[in-house]
Amino acid sequence: MKKLFLAIALTTAAAFPVSAEMKHEHSMPMSKMDDMKHQMDTLEEKIDGFDVSFDIMTHKDYQKMMTAMKMDFMKPSTGTTHHIAVSIRKDNKKIEDAAVNMKVISPDGKEETCILTYNPDMMSQYVGHFNMPKKGKYQALVLFKIGEEKHQGGVYYEVK
């Protein structure tokens, strides 16, 4: 069933538009956010009434952030450069029981997919690692399933 869900996600996700960058606030102290503002890019998208945010950063910046917050960090997957964390909320309530798939499309059209893992720490995010080594605009597409309902959308992210 998971393979079928992923196949559907990957074949349909590219057909959905992505939004422009927007600012997103986290539930951590502003002093910590100030330290990280140049290390993490947060993009936000409204998908079917859900507020979905994408926190994108290099592995190095992710590890620095987690160390600053005195939290354990996930070991990077081999051959990847970036950590992507997705938060899903509806009516300001965290969604903690979704199945979340992500596809990242590189500037040259190469596609990489990952089933995101739910991380129930204080951030309550779905996370994965992706290889984004080249400069240029990447597309991050997400498909999440809550119960029997599927929702999809995405954002563009530029590696500089």
Give the tokens for residue 24.
Answer: 């997103």
Q: Return d(Cα 91, Cα 43) in angstroms, integer.
A: 18
Closest CA to 154 of 75, 45, 72: 45
State the pLDDT confidence band at 5, using cuts at 50, 70 and 90: very low
CATH 3.55.40.20 assigned to domain 2-159? The reply is no
Instruction: Give the chain's radius of gyration (CA, Å).
Output: 15
66 or 12, greater pLDDT: 66
- Is residue 24's pLDDT more than 50? no
Within 10 Å of residue 12's Cβ, how many Cβ atoms?
A: 13
133 within 8 A of 142, measured Cβ to Cβ: no
pLDDT at 75: 77
**Span 66-116, pLDDT tens digits:** 777 787 777 777 888 898 999 999 999 999 999 999 999 999 999 999 999
User: Could you tell me the pLDDT band of residue 17, with boundaries at 50, 70 and 90?
Assistant: very low
